[in-house]
A and B are shown apart, each in its own frame.
Chain A
């Protein structure tokens, strides 16, 4: 079975700072990788996903993530955060043939100070 670790539980940044949220997974086979975001009071939304091809994936709102297979990592990045990026971010993984059977990380709560 796969598992996902997000090492940063809480991150506080000032506006315009750069963001990198760590995500590591454990699974021996081919995986699909996702980042979801949950804004305060809202439901989870898909930020970006990786299935194959270019390991650098660009998502909505200026976010990107890089899949490094050798490190079993899929870190989320944004060059310059905004106050509106305050949210909880979840990394998720599934085996390539497991469809929407996702395993989520524990989440990282990001607070951006104006």
Chain B
């Protein structure tokens, strides 16, 4: 089991550029979550998917952010245009079921995004 795989590990970009973060969940996991970690706000849930369908995107900060899950093994989080305040570590997580007792979240290593 390779775990949740995120790419890239680090991304440095200039303000105004488009940024795409990628995630491969654990095979067989039906739920995929995108989190953002900042010093000021800690870990925030941005959006989650069930069977490739976005269920709750209320945490997405604004229209510049979008997330897709075209198939069960791949998801993207896109920021267009990026701004310096988007600098953070973005985590992807997956789980087998929504119920967390028997199905804990498995996190990826995160993507550290720096927008200059």
Give me the interface of A with B, judged by CB distance under 8 Å. 4, 6, 32, 34, 36, 41-46, 49, 51, 90, 92, 94, 99-107
Contact = CB atoms under 8 A, between A and B. Distances in A.
B41 interface: yes
Interface residues of B, number: 30
B104 A99 contact: no
A99 B100 contact: yes
B34 interface: no
Given A100-B33, A100-B95, A46 B104 contact: yes
Most buried by B among A41, A45, A90, A99: A99
A46 B100 CA distance: 11
B116 interface: no
B99 interface: yes
Contacts of A104: 35, 42-44
Nearest to B9: A41
A90 B98 CA distance: 20
Contacts of B43: 90, 92, 104-105, 107
B110 interface: yes
B45 A101 contact: yes
Given A45-B107, A100-B100, 4 more contacts: A6-B42, A100-B33, A100-B104, A106-B41
